[in-house]
Amino acid sequence: MKSNNKVMNMKEAVSTFVHDGDCIALGGFVTNRKPYAAVREIIRQGIKDLYLEGGPAGGDVDMLIGAGCVKVYFNSYFANSGFTEVCRRARHAIEQGTILWEDYSLDVQTLLYHAAALGLPYIAVKNMLGSNMIDKWGIAAEVWEKDPKLASRKLMVTSNPFNPDEQVCLLPTPKIDTAIIHVQRASAGGICRIYGNTFVDVDIAMGATNCIVTCEELVSEDVLRKEPWLNQLPELVPDAIVHAPYGAHPAQCTNHYDYDGQFLKMYDQASRTDEEFIKYLTEWIYGTEDNDAYLEKLGVSRLFNLRVKPGYGYVPL
């Protein structure tokens, strides 16, 4: 094996780079290019006490929380838009107090990831000033102070040292142990190409200590180097490359497949009660050994019907 060959199977990548108590960040956006195959493997391996940076989250975060993998969730938005306005397992855990939860505005959380990519210890923003996110913390101040995985506090409102009459909000940047993103193309050495919106993926990949990339296509380095301006991540960023076709299902993946609306509707029903959610986990996660088994269970016909029409980017009705 070449020294720059970072290809692993999903079990190996997750067991190597995701551990109990880690802070992980998930790429994608709500129902778009979410790393579902990796999420399912985290649940299969029974990893616990995660500090989860979900960003613009959907069912990926909901599943991890519902399966008991999460200790702390840093939120700005979570839903399966069009199917579940507020993800039910996450909401249940928050209301029951079984996880800790901290809330940010979506723009601020995105800025925090960019600051992490730049290696900054904190950022100064004005976005949350005037809202009750400043005063109403989801995590108690004493927990922020005592938990070694957290900063000493959520935020600090202070005067701008360059303009003392102006107030700014200082927020500590997240210390991400492992970022997990799903891309359309990657080389064995780690060059990555994303088609469509990149969302927070590049920032969390750059800002994390480790990065797992799952991909639709594992291609030659030469193919990606022919048009280097289309690539988002160089070889030095990813630590593991996992070939995972349909790895974002039931989310969509630009130029490859649309989201699976019927599956998302099914998940919406299954997530309504503890009993139905356990059945869902048993059938679709614990009952499938890996991504190949999951795809086999979905069936060729179903997957084929999700393939996008060239030039449209989605499945026309």
pLDDT by residue (tens digit) across 173-226? 999 999 999 999 999 999 999 999 999 999 999 999 999 999 999 999 999 999
Say whether 132 sits in a helix, a strand or coil: coil
On the CB side of 78, CA atoms within 13 Å amount to 29
d(Cα 273, Cα 210) in Å, to the nearest integer?
A: 35
Say whether 43 sits in a helix, a strand or coil: helix
For the chain, residues classed under CATH 3.40.1080.10 are 1-121+175-317
Name the average pLDDT for the chain: 96
Residue among 17, 23, 9, 43 at smallest CA distance from 204: 23
Pairing of strands 210-218, 178-186: parallel
Tell me what the mean pLDDT of segment 227-235 comes to.
97
Amino acid at 176: I
Backbone angles phi, psi at 281, to 5 degrees: -60, -40
Backbone angles phi, psi at 125, to 5 degrees: -135, 165
CATH fold label, 1-121+175-317:
Glutaconate Coenzyme A-transferase (3.40.1080)
Q: Which residues contact 264 (CB under 8 A, 6 or more apart)?
A: 31, 59, 80, 82, 83, 84, 250
Decide if pLDDT at 31 tops 70: yes
Q: What is the CATH number of domain 123-172?
A: 3.30.30.40
| Element containing residue 104 per DSSP (H, E) | none
pLDDT by residue (tens digit) across 49-90? 999 998 899 999 999 999 999 999 999 999 998 888 889 999
pLDDT score for 249: 98
Q: With cut-offs at 50, 70 and 90, classify the pLDDT of residue 2.
A: very low
For the chain, residues classed under CATH 3.30.30.40 are 123-172
Q: What is the pTM of this model?
A: 0.97
